[in-house]
Amino acid sequence: MYYIYIIKCEGDLLYTGITTDVERRMSEHFGRTEKCAKYTRSHKAVSLEALWSCENRSLASKLEYRIKQLSKAQKLKLIADNSCFGELFGTELSEKYTRETIDKE
């Protein structure tokens, strides 16, 4: 299983990435370890905002690319309301991804 995620960073910035292990990857980003992305090393990660799962790396890469092409307003809309997924990416693509619940404690 592959996961595509959007993280909110300081300065109200957004970062999108892919992982096979959400817990490990978030630990790297939020801990700012040497394995975190260069972006989250210089822009401190604040919260995990959205998470989708899919079957393989190819699908994950496609969604990551498509999300990165969105405007910030579109990304915020997607984070707030996953029902716009089909509108933004097409219904064919929307059937290949599952929005995962994020436990925000």
Output the domain CATH number for residue 25. 3.40.1440
- Residue span of the structural domain in which 51 resides: 2-99
Whether 87 is covered by a domain: the verdict is yes
Q: Are 13 and 68 in contact (CB under 8 A)?
A: no
- pLDDT band for position 104 (50/70/90)? low
The percent of residues in the chain predicted with pLDDT above 70, rounded, is 98
Instruction: Determine if the pTM surpasses 0.85.
Output: yes
Q: How many domains does the chain have?
A: 1
Judge residue 83's burial from the number of C-beta atoms within 10 Å of its C-beta, 0-12 exposed, 13-18 middle, 19 or more buried. exposed
The verdict on residue 105 lying in a domain is no
Burial of 50 (0-12, 13-18, 19+ CB in 10 A): buried
6 part of a folded domain: yes
pLDDT digits (tens, 9 = 90+) for 15-58: 999 999 999 999 999 887 787 778 888 889 999 999 999 999 99
First to last CA, the chain: 24
> Is the residue at 104 inside a domain?
no
